[in-house]
Every structure is written in structure tokens, then in C-alpha cells.
Amino acid sequence: MRRPARMLAVAGLASVAVFAAACSSGGSTPDPAPAAKITLADSTAKPINPTTPISVRASRGDLTTVTVTNRKGKTVKGTSSEGGEEWHTTEDLGYGTTYTVKADAVNPDGKHTRQTFTVKTIDPDDTAYANVVPAPEVVSEDGIGVGQPMVFQFTKPIKNRAEVEKHLVVTTTPSQPGAWYWTDDQSVHYRAKDYWKPGTKIHIEANVYGVDLGDGVYGAEDNAVDYKVHDSWVAKADGNTEQLTVFHNGELVRTMPMSLGEPTTPSHRGVHVVSERSASTVMDSCSYGVCQGDPGYYRETVFDNLRISNDGEFVHAAPWSVGQQGSANVSHGCVNLSPADAKWMYDTFRLGDVVEISNSGGDELPVWDTYGDWAVPWKVWKAGNASA
């Protein structure tokens, strides 16, 4: 008696199934989104320059995390851009180092893709530093004189000099035109057409880290320094009048009798720049080959010294020649002054101040002799010699 009831129940289930099918949309299930893809912007097939950022990109998704670590596990700083599709390092890498890059990206369906890369940097044969002259700590209190060239002195000879110059920066306030010139294969100098204006602020940079300096040598690090030019102090030593006249900001403030180099050891002509100050110095002729027992040998402690060339030329006290000062040239190339006048010069002049020597009978100060920069005509200097 109950079988018909059971059959109705089954039929009722069938009706529900038909009704449910009639209410469906009839469409297919959407395909899953493709997995995100992670790539490096640059090929890792060969070592990269340490100044080249490691750049990670995601396609078909966004980056969620990226870490770059060196062999010691130190993390390299980086930042994201383009809405999370790109990430790149924001600090320089090291030479000859292997970096591990781990990246995670997620596609629109929330599926993660993780990938690890290895990046190596170039390993130079050698590196060189770009040191500045004068050292900033030496002139931090007094500033520099109007004749002071800006100098980067490299610790290794530079072959790719034209390439290096592209990475040297000078900013002067107020603006004054200037140019770089190589005085030897390790030293590049910058000066203006004329002396710096008093009060000028000078900022110099050698952005040479990662730069190929030539012959397998790369820049060891960048260097940047600020200088300020103090008042103008220019002394003029005239071999005809045997007088040293001193000008402060263009105004004559002192005239002193002096003695330049005698005919056999004449002082160099031209612009000299104070490069060193010493209250006392032992001057020994053996330093240039005239030693004890030779005619003309001397060894003397000299006071209040202003070095104006590496060829042994100074402005200094010379009590032994006071009788000839103002009337005859009797020194070994220096500017001889009385003790009182030498003390005044020593107390007044600082690094970068100028001593112009004329009518000395000597050759012009060579460009390679410390700061013989001003011997080169501006037209020649401005043209540069990086490719010479």
C-alpha cells in the first residue's frame, strides 16, 4: 500500500532537479588568471656595474616583496614604483660581490609566484681614490685664497681622462666660468679665467665610483667637498724694483724691500700660489743635489715660511740678506724678507693666496709645479687636454 507514496517522493525530487536546472544561467566557469611572471630588467648572464640598480619587474600581477642580500646577508635598500609592478635598489652595490634576489608576486586571483635570482658585480683589477687638495680640514677655518685651483689627485694614473671629466662637477656661487686641465696623469685641476671673486662658494664632486678609469682600474668611491674663498690677498714681487707690494681686495696695503734669486738660481716668473705654511723649516741644499762639501752648500733653519712652489721657493725671513734687500737679488730662488716683514706676511697670507713674481730672470713656473696653473693661457686651459 505504501509503494505509490515512495514513488511520488522520488518523482518530487526529480521535479526539484528540473526546476533548479531551469533557474541556472547556463554559462561556463571563468578560466583562472595566468600566474604572475617575475623578471630582472637586466640580464644576469654577466657581472653588472655596481652603480647599475637591480631592477625586478612583475607582469600579469604585482610584486608583494623583494629582498636583495649580499653574501654576508646584508640587505640592500630598494623601493617600489609603477603601482607595484617594478622594484629597484636605491643604493650602490659593491665590487666583486654576489647578490641573492628573492621576489614574490601575486596575480589577480591571489595566486603567488616566487622566484630567486643571482646577480654578480664586476671585480676590477684595482681601484683608485680621488683625493682633494687642499684637504678640507686644513682650510675649514680660514677658507682658500683667490688663486687656489680645485684639485682632484688620483691614487693611480688615469688613462680614460676624458671619461673621468664627465663625472666631475663644479658649482660656484656667484657663477664663474672655469675648466678642467690635467697637470699630470694623476692630477686634474679646475680654475677660472681670472682669480676667484672674494666670498665665492665652491662645491666640487668626483662621482667616479663605478667609472672605468682605464687599464682595469675603477673609481673606489665618490668624493665631494665645499670651499669658501676669503678676501683677496695678492703680493707682487718685482725683480727690477726689488720691492714686494701687497694688495688687499685690490688696495695697496704694504710695500717691503726684498731679494729674489740670484742670477745663477733665479726665481721662477709668474703666478705662484701659497700651498703650505710653516713657522720654521730646515732648508738644506742637499735636497736638490748640492750637499755638504760642495760649493754653495747650506743648511739653515728658516722662519715664517710660505711655500709658493715645490721647487724650493718660499717667502720667508732672511736676516742674513737684509743689507741686500731692496737692492740686489741674492737668494737661492726664494723671496727674502726682513724678519719683521716675513712675520707680517706669515700672519696675513693663507693657502691659495697669490705671489706674482716678475722680472726675476728665471723661467716661468711650470704648470706641473704644485699650482703653476696660471702659466697656461686661458684659451689653452679652457680647451682642456684630457685627450692629449
Residues annotated as part of the active site: 316, 334
User: How far is 206 from 282, CA to CA, in rounded Å?
Assistant: 36
Buried (b) or exposed (e) across 236-271, using 16+ Cβ within 10 A?
A: bbbbeebebbbbeeeeeeeebbbbbbbeebbbbbbb
Report yes or no: 84 and 106 within 8 Å, Cβ to Cβ: no
Q: What cell was used for 19?
A: 526546476
User: How far is 302 from 318, CA to CA, in rounded Å?
Assistant: 7
- Tell me the DSSP string of 271-329: EEE--EEEEEEEEEGGGGT--TTSTT--EEEEEEEEE--TTS-EEEE-GGGTTTTTT--
Work out the number of other CB atoms within 10 angstroms of the CB of residue 153.
15
Report yes or no: 227 and 173 within 8 Å, Cβ to Cβ: no
DSSP letter for 60, please. Answer: S
Report yes or no: 237 and 355 within 8 Å, Cβ to Cβ: yes
CA 167 to chain centre: 8
Helices (H), 127-177: 136-139, 161-165
DSSP letter for 376, please. Answer: S
323 φ, ψ to 5°? -65, -30
Please, what's the largest Cα pairwise distance for the chain? 154
